[in-house]
Amino acid sequence: MHAPQVPESSRIRFRCKARTRWSDEDNQNVLNNAVYMTLLEEARHAYFQKLGLLDGRHFPFLLAQTNIRFVAPGKGGVEVELEVITTRLGTSSVEQSYRVRDGAAVWCEAQAVLVIYDPVRKRSAPMAPSFRQAVEAFEGLA
């Protein structure tokens, strides 16, 4: 199984913060694995919101796949940094990499494939040129 590929933090342009909750810990006294999915979701939304691509409650994409490597145990009650970078734009897909850290301690690294989605026709749709340009401009992609 291939580990998720995540560029080093110095190359990642977007970061935001989130706070873990006491109840995010499970009976093993560490952040439950499912909570990382929620943190990555929050990071993803903050990223697209910053780029002006999150139109209120209408999400233009679906999560098609995610590969997460759990590096160190997380804890509740911590303000963590969430790093997000778009690494590739396809015809109707977006590949991103993420990192969750508590200061120098990396909790997890992940990759995801998002698919641009038409909720009316309930199927994937080509990426709008404006969407592509906004991401390319932010990330400095060709």
Q: What letter does residue 30 receive in the DSSP assignment?
A: S
| Token pair belonging to 53 | 């691509």
CB of 105 to a second copy, least distance (A): 14
Closer CB to a second copy, residue 121 or residue 129? 121
Nearest by Cα to 20 from 84, 74, 70, 83: 74
> Shortest approach of a second copy to residue 73 CB, angstroms?
8
Q: How far is the CB of 65 from a second copy (least distance, A)?
A: 5
Binding residues for a second copy (CB under 8 A): 1-4, 18-19, 21-23, 25-29, 32-38, 41-42, 45, 57, 59, 62-70, 76-77, 95, 111, 113
Question: Is the Cβ of residue 32 or residue 92 nearer to a second copy in the bound state?
Answer: 32
DSSP per-residue string spanning 48-106: HHHTT--BTTB-SEEEEEEEEEE-S---SS-EEEEEEEEEEE-SSEEEEEEEEEETTEE
In sequence order, the 6+-apart residues with CB closer than 8 A to the CB of 59 are 117
Nearer to a second copy, 42 or 102 (CB): 42
What's the Rg (C-alpha) of the chain?
A: 15
| Least distance between a second copy and beta carbon 72 (Å) | 11
In this complex, which beta carbon is closest to a second copy, that of residue 79 or of residue 133?
79
